[in-house]
Amino acid sequence: MNVTFTWAAIIALGLFMYVMLDGFDLGVGLIFPFFPDESERDLMMHAIAPVWDGNETWLVLGGAALLAAFPLVYSIALSALYLPIITMLVCLIFRGGSFELRGKADRTKNLWNLAFIAGSAGASFLQGVILGAYLHGIPIANNAFAGDAFFWLEPFSLLSGLGLMATYALLGACWLVIKTEGELQRRLHLLITPLTALLLLFMIAVSVWTPLSDSRIAERWFESGLLLRLLPVPLLVAIGAWLMFSAARKRLHVMPFILALALVLLGYVGLLVSVWPYAIPYSLTLADAAAPRASQTFALAGALVILPVIIVYTTAGYWVFRGKLVHGAKYD
């Protein structure tokens, strides 16, 4: 197996881990406004307090691994998306800070609630914007960014920002359904159906928009026979959504989260197919952007051993905090 492609696979996996894990805890912030009661908010916060910094570490891994395996992509994409990335990081600061500070504040508790909501919403939206701008391609000349500071500000990236917000909100609601019971859980169940519908809407919009706006993707989808092989994807999405609606109706506890993950995974596969084999869509291939072999192999040796270990103890950590939350427990 080619080292470069292995790294691409690891980064893709890391990114999915991030979307899945930090996705649900960002999502908790997104649905915070629907639950104004402070004791319920405490409970929602406790559902993610022991795990959020581990979840966010996948984002750090993404950055570091990109720098190690594809330094050119790291340098071009990050400098190109300067403003959205820095703003996204600032949102994460407010949000991360509010984990530590909300529980300790009394007079300013509402401000930290706001910081948590706005930080989560801003970070989710901007991550989607960054993704959308990346998918649409970054202007490059001589292996460096050669565009305008606001090139990313276009309808498609804004749409993908909203889409990612819907995705995270759904993951957050489904996670909380696992962790709660009774009246709070009932109201969380009520959120699942509209959020799933919203997610479907965005998935359709992106799927229609992408090939229409970019002939290269259209070519890839419609003329290479790929469409036929990819046909199961929309079909599976439809089935997943249908199962989700019924799971929400039956008020299942764990199933909605699993189905939400399945929907996210299907959407993610669709994106990967559109990008492959580019490192920056349509201008830089993975092979062009690869770090020297000595860099990739050195880091890979560790990754192949350590990442499975990380997944094992991360899972163990989740296992320790399994089960429904109890009112009055203090996690701050």
Positions in 267-306 near other proteins (CB under 8 A): 291-292, 294-295, 298-299, 302-303, 306
Where do we find the tokens 């596969």?
Answer: 269
Are 145 and 139 contacting, i.e. CB atoms less than 8 angstroms apart? Answer: yes
Site string for other proteins, 62-101 (x = CB under 8 A): -xxxxxxx-xx-xxxxxx-xxx-xxx-xx-xxx-xx-xxx
DSSP conformation class of 33: G
**Counting runs of H as helices and runs of E as strands, what totals does the chain give?**
14, 4
Hey, which residues between 111 and 140 contact other proteins (CB under 8 A)?
115
Tell me the number of residues near other proteins by CB under 8 A: 73
Residue 39 interacts with other proteins (CB under 8 A): yes or no? no
Of the pair 87, 185, the CB lying nearest other proteins is at: 87
Of the pair 45, 263, the CB lying nearest other proteins is at: 45
Hey, which residues between 139 and 168 contact other proteins (CB under 8 A)?
143-146, 149
Of the pair 127, 210, the CB lying nearest other proteins is at: 127
Instruction: Count the alpha carbons within 13 Å of 103 in the hemisphere toward its beta carbon.
Output: 15
155 Cβ contact list (under 8 Å, min separation 6): none
Please report how close the Cβ of residue 214 comes to other proteins at its closest, in angstroms: 25
Where do we find the tokens 């639950």?
Answer: 35
Of the pair 46, 189, the CB lying nearest other proteins is at: 46
Please report how close the Cβ of residue 311 comes to other proteins at its closest, in angstroms: 9
DSSP conformation class of 34: G
Where do we find the tokens 């990819």?
Answer: 230
Please report how close the Cβ of residue 61 comes to other proteins at its closest, in angstroms: 5
Taking the alpha carbons at both ends of the chain, their separation in whole angstroms is 46
Please report how close the Cβ of residue 191 comes to other proteins at its closest, in angstroms: 26
| Distance in angstroms (rounded) separating the CA atoms of residues 29 and 23 | 10
Of the pair 77, 266, the CB lying nearest other proteins is at: 77
| Distance in angstroms (rounded) separating the CA atoms of residues 329 and 321 | 12
Of the pair 180, 274, the CB lying nearest other proteins is at: 180
| Distance in angstroms (rounded) separating the CA atoms of residues 166 and 146 | 32
